[in-house]
């Protein structure tokens, strides 16, 4: 689907170089809000106000927004405790996800967000990769499904024009269960399905593996597909082992060993990252069900959000620009691809 293809990126940078982003050719950014309230009285949090200002800035700069509504939580590095552990993303006052009170207060927060943003935001990503244990955490399947439906229906109640979808982490049996239970049903509130994939990094395979993944998810969801996240890490391994006995908790083996077990081509290097991009774009553009893609991500990061280490290949090297926003070969591959296929 060439026409109106959403050319997007996840910026996730505190001070993005807008001119450089525009010069690359992206028109959309994937960003979002934290849970809006601090307490049951509906006091809006400072974090929410800051996110709102960031979104307004992107809109003022001319970008469209694919807006994320927070998920229930994630297993991540906590600077406070120095450990990787489950951190709730919704306040304690909601209670436990099994309680009616939690559902009601979540719905009310979503209603507020739909109303607050109806003049500026149409496209929503509800939660993040809800098929992956790092993100659904302690929620049961039923609680996870309720979360996704509640947040979506809350937004739609106050903004019926909103187009909501979830983003799958990858194709697995949990993802198939979600498509069966909330997409392939008569009253599904979803307008599109987001899919994320890192074949050659988090998964085996490479650019060609996208074809079967898109085919299956388009068929099982019967909705248009947006590639909400895709990319290739440009760092093969970290140098410094601070935990040689590996006694800490790690989400997965890449953080544990600071090394990618999956790879593609000549490995995780800046040049191969660029080549990966050049091979993926024609696949996305050529597939009749794909309406947009959001490259992950704008810039490299100083530390890994999963384990806290500065040289961890898991999360530090996805950028098309480095930490100082100097373009990597990936930047030019994206620029060339967008120009060629727009
Ligand atoms: Zn890590």
Q: What is the distance in A from the centroid of ligand 1 to the CA of 260? A: 11
Cα separation, 278 vs 263, in Å, equals 17
CB 167 within 8 A of CB 228: yes
Q: What is the pLDDT of residue 121?
A: 98
Write the CB contacts of 132 (distance below 8 Å, at least 6 apart in sequence): 169, 170, 174
Q: What is the distance in A from the centroid of ligand 1 to the CA of 211? A: 29
Q: What is the pLDDT of residue 13?
A: 84
pLDDT tens string, the chain, 342 residues long: the values are 456 899 999 998 889 999 999 999 999 999 999 999 999 999 999 999 999 999 999 999 999 999 999 999 999 999 899 999 999 999 999 999 999 999 999 999 999 999 999 999 999 999 999 999 999 999 999 999 999 999 999 999 999 999 999 999 999 999 999 999 999 999 999 999 999 999 999 999 999 999 999 999 999 999 999 999 999 999 999 987 788 888 888 989 999 999 999 999 999 999 999 999 999 999 999 999 999 999 999 999 999 999 999 999 999 999 999 999 999 999 999 999 999 999
Q: What is the distance in A from the centroid of ligand 1 to the CA of 147? A: 28
The per-residue pLDDT for range 203-252, each reduced to its tens digit, is: 999 999 999 999 999 999 999 999 999 999 999 999 877 888 888 889 89
Q: What is the distance in A from the centroid of ligand 1 to the CA of 134? A: 13
Q: What is the distance in A from the centroid of ligand 1 to the CA of 253? A: 9
Q: What is the distance in A from the centroid of ligand 1 to the CA of 90? A: 24
Q: What is the distance in A from the centroid of ligand 1 to the CA of 84? A: 10
Q: What is the distance in A from the centroid of ligand 1 to the CA of 250? A: 8
Q: What is the distance in A from the centroid of ligand 1 to the CA of 256? A: 7
- φ and ψ at residue 200, rounded to 5 degrees: 105, -15
Q: What is the distance in A from the centroid of ligand 1 to the CA of 57? A: 30
Q: What is the distance in A from the centroid of ligand 1 to the CA of 72? A: 21
Q: What is the distance in A from the centroid of ligand 1 to the CA of 311? A: 8
* DSSP string of 194-235, one letter each residue: EEEE-BTTTBS--TTHHHHHHHHHHHHH-S-EEEEEE---S-
Cα separation, 185 vs 326, in Å, equals 46
Q: What is the distance in A from the centroid of ligand 1 to the CA of 76? A: 10
Q: What is the distance in A from the centroid of ligand 1 to the CA of 212? A: 29
| Fold adopted by 6-341 | TIM Barrel (3.20.20)
CB 277 within 8 A of CB 295: yes
Side-chain half-sphere exposure of 134, counting CA atoms within 13 A? 15
Q: What is the distance in A from the centroid of ligand 1 to the CA of 318? A: 13
Q: What is the distance in A from the centroid of ligand 1 to the CA of 82? A: 13
Q: What is the distance in A from the centroid of ligand 1 to the CA of 290? A: 31
pTM of the shown model: 0.95
The per-residue pLDDT for range 301-318, each reduced to its tens digit, is: 999 999 999 999 999 999
Question: Where do the structural domains in the chain lie, given as residue ranges?
Answer: 6-341
Q: What is the distance in A from the centroid of ligand 1 to the CA of 142? A: 30
Cα separation, 209 vs 241, in Å, equals 33
Q: What is the distance in A from the centroid of ligand 1 to the CA of 310? A: 8
């Amino acid at each position: 689907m060439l026409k109106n293809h959403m050319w997007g990126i996840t910026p996730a940078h505190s001070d993005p170089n807008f001119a450089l982003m525009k010069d690359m050719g992206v028109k959309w950014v994937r960003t979002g809000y934290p849970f809006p309230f601090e307490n049951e009285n509906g006091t809006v949090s400072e974090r929410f106000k800051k996110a709102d200002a960031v979104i307004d800035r992107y809109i003022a700069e001319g970008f469209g927004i694919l807006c994320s509504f927070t998920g229930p939580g994630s297993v991540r590095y906590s600077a406070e405790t120095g450990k990787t552990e489950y951190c709730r993303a919704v306040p304690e006052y909601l209670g436990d996800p099994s309680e009616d009170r939690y559902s009601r207060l979540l719905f009310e927060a979503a209603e507020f967000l739909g109303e607050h943003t109806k003049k500026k935001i149409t496209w929503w990503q509800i939660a993040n990769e809800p098929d992956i244990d790092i993100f659904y955490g302690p929620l049961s399947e039923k609680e996870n499904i309720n979360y996704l439906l509640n947040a979506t229906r809350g937004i739609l109640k106050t903004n019926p024009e909103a187009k909501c979808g979830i983003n799958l982490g990858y194709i697995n049996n949990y993802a198939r269960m979600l498509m069966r239970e909330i997409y392939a049903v008569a009253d599904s509130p979803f307008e599109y399905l987001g899919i994320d994939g890192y074949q050659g990094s988090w998964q085996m395979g490479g650019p060609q593996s996208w074809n079967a993944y898109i085919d299956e998810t388009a068929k099982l969801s019967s909705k248009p597909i947006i590639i909400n996240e895709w990319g290739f890490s440009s760092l093969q391994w970290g140098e410094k082992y601070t935990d040689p006995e590996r006694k800490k908790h790690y989400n997965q083996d890449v953080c544990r060993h600071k090394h990618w077990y999956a790879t593609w081509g000549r490995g995780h290097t800046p040049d191969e990252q660029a080549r990966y991009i050049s091979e993926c774009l024609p696949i996305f553009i050529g597939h009749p069900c794909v309406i947009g893609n959001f490259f992950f991500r704008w810039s490299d990061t100083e530390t890994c959000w999963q384990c806290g280490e500065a040289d961890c290949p898991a999360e530090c090297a996805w950028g098309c620009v480095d930490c100082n926003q100097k373009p990597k070969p990936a930047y030019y591959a994206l620029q060339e691809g967008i120009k060629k296929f727009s």
